[in-house]
A and B are shown apart, each in its own frame.
Chain A
């Protein structure tokens, strides 16, 4: 039933020019479910995310959010309706401080985005700043509050990337390789944070670190060559010969 699923993806595909990136992907996502998406480079994982958040439009197929057809909805509306994403490459406001990055997300969520005739400062918007401080505290970033993002370490920037996704209080969060390029200890830290996310938040995670994703996900989707190779529980997928073949066959590491 369409109504129960937070996301229903029905036969979507994407071609650029003559090149088909994704063919007929169908998937139903339950509320609160955690889905891991794996597959070799070029399998179409990021394109799949781009379609879900509306950065690009599918060549065919439909996407439903609950029972609402959002196939043609622009990306900012989907974000407003609770479909948030993080980017594979850090995509932050590099010249601004951590706090400013966070406030920009929070002010929209709290409905202040269009206020134009008072300064955004703590006196004017105490609740906004309080929320920001809280989040920074939880994420152990309080001491980095006033630092300009581009002067943070890569790992810290990666954390901010995920934090911004969560800060918008989404109902679905799409994480595109959250631990990409991180050291083992940084990865562990992020994984801990991801495990601590509220269970009602639906997660879809693209991840190359199979240990991370198998541990986190309730269900795995394996993409290969723009198609769903298999869908199943982590344990089943882990044993699937075809999946092993892809990963060992291509020697894919990153």
Chain B
């Protein structure tokens, strides 16, 4: 436990120095990466650890974002109030959607999550007088915490960083816990886990709600970061993007979704300065990963390390035999 705290503090200090080094543009890029990394980590609970491929995770991102925005606009722009509301509404929504989605598995799960997220999208899109419809929700006041206003990019970056580290630590513990091991068991062989005496439906349901809660949390951060929400943040492409981040980074690992989010955002920024056909590029990259690197960036890293180890062993053996 001590080493984890130490690691977290180190990362916090290192990343905490970012505002001193980075330009505003790059700092914002980093904030966006961290927010999407939380989003990807939340989806990874389902896809990577439980083996449930959801194509509708944007629903929770959107619900979190819109809840934070609406609460800030209409009730209170206290950070804890709006963030808390986002998480609670996301949990409730996930509990309802999950009750239906848990009845099915495999492709049906994928289809149902996609369908439910589109349902939420269409609700947001059509409820013009609440959500601003296609114009999006704008004029959201800055978040405030006990008199302190998060009025610029640097302050927002620090909230994002804190929440990111907390999320990473919490989820990192959960997936290693006995509960998390049951989820992994379900991913590997649900029938066996059931035969062992676990009510797997309950475990999957909890995983779904957990993923929804953290998805909503990332959405609320996006609102503080952007000050504006567009319905496209709830669209299926957002669900697709986050799934792509998880799979490109390496599903079922903690680092993978973070790397995936980073690669995605950086690539998008670079590519979009040259061409509008960003989806074409990301689609192609994704296909290449699915075929050739199904374990993602983390998998590539692991293979390289193994290769290096083998080389070194061979090299050592050679030297030994020469010496002899």
Contact = CB atoms under 8 A, between A and B. Distances in A.
Interface string A101-122: 0011101110011111111110
B28 interface: no
Nearest to B252: A95
Given A94-B189, A118-B173, A113 B179 contact: yes
B203 to A, nearest CB: 9
Contacts of A9: none
Contact of B184 (A92, A96, A116): A96
Contacts of A80: 197
Residue among A76, A96, A108, A112 with most chain B CB within 10 A: A76
Interface residues of A, number: 37
B178 A79 contact: no
Given A93-B189, A94-B189, A104-B182, A115 B195 contact: no
Interface residues of B, number: 23
B181 A104 contact: yes
Interface in B138-186: 173-174, 176-182, 184-185
Interface string A176-206: 0000000000000000000000000000000
A164 B196 CA distance: 8
Chain A binding surface SS class: loop
B192 interface: yes
A80 B193 CA distance: 12
Given A53-B195, A117-B173, A168-B196, A112 B188 contact: no
B194 interface: yes
A81 B200 CA distance: 16
A53 B173 CA distance: 34
Contact of A119 (B173, B188, B189): B173
Nearest to A53: B195
Residue among A53, A107, A121, A125 with most chain B CB within 10 A: A107
Nearest to B191: A91
Contact of A76 (B188, B189, B197): B197
A161 to B, nearest CB: 9
Nearest to B206: A116
Contacts of B191: 91
A74 to B, nearest CB: 8
A104 B189 contact: no
B198 interface: yes
Interface in A68-82: 74-77, 79-80
B214 to A, nearest CB: 14
Nearest to B197: A79
B181 A120 contact: yes
Contacts of A109: 197
Interface in A55-75: 55, 74-75
Interface string B72-95: 000000000000000000000000
A119 B194 contact: no
Interface of A: 53, 55, 74-77, 79-80, 84-85, 87, 91-96, 100, 103-105, 107-109, 112-121, 125, 164, 168
15 contacts: A75-B195, A76-B195, A77-B197, A79-B196, A91-B191, A93-B184, A93-B188, A93-B189, A93-B192, A96-B188, A108-B198, A115-B177, A116-B177, A116-B178, A168-B196
- 9 A-B pairs with the lowest CB-CB distances in the bound complex, closest first: A79-B197, A116-B179, A119-B176, A93-B188, A80-B197, A115-B178, A112-B178, A107-B178, A76-B199
